[in-house]
Amino acid sequence: MKQICNAVACTLLLLPVFAPRPAQAAEVPAVGQQAPDFSAPSQDGTPVSLKSFRGKWTVLYFYPKDMTRGCTIEAHNFQQDLPKYQAQNAVIVGVSVDSSDSHKEFCAKESLTFRLVADTDKKIVDQYGSLGGNGVANRNTFLIDPTGKIVKVWTSVNPTHHSEEVLAALPK
C-alpha cells in the first residue's frame, strides 16, 4: 500500500512538468501587416466581416465588457465623435467576447449606433492578440486603412481620451 501511495505522490508531483501547456495567446498584429479578416454577429445578429469595410478607414477596437464604466466611457466618446469619423470615411467597430444580446442591450441603453461584434468563441480577440488572461478582451485598438493594412496600433488604451487619439491619427 505504501508503494502505491508513493507512486501516486510521485506522479502528482511530476504532472505539472509533463502536462501539456496552454497555447500562447497570439501576438498583436504589427503595423504594416494585413489585418486578419473575421466574420461574426453584431448587436442585431447580422454578420459583420472586416472585408466589408474595404474602401473605408476602420477603427477596430477591443474592449472588456458591455455596460461597465470604462467601456461605456470609450463607447460614448466614439459615438460622440462618429460624425467626425464619417467625415473622414471611417467606421467604428467594437469587439468584445459578450453576446449579441448583451451588445443589443448595451447599444439600446447607451444609444450606440456603430457596430459591436460578438466574439463569444474568442477567435477574433485571439487573432488580434487581444485576449486577456481573465478571458475578456484587452483594451486595444487597430486603425486599418482602406486596403486592409494596419497603420496604427494602440494597446492598453485609456478610454477617456482614446477617441481623440484615434481621430488625430486619421489622415486629413
Question: Would you list the domain boundaries of the chain?
Answer: 25-169
Res. 13: pLDDT tops 90: no
**Residues with catalytic annotation?**
71
- The C-alpha cell at 67 is 455596460
pLDDT of residue 20: 37
Give the whole-angstrom CA distance, residue 9 versus residue 19: 16
Residue 84 has pLDDT above 70, yes or no: yes
Termini Cα distance of the chain: 78
SS3 readout for 63-96: CCCCCCHHHHHHHHHHHHCHHHHHHCCEEEEEEE
Dump pLDDT digits (tens) for 126-154: 999 999 989 999 999 999 999 999 999 99
Question: What per-residue confidence (pLDDT) applies to 133?
Answer: 86
Fold (CATH) for 25-169: Glutaredoxin (3.40.30)
Q: What is the pTM of this model?
A: 0.85
The whole-angstrom separation of Cα 106 and Cα 68 is 10
| pLDDT at 166 exceeding the cut of 60 | yes
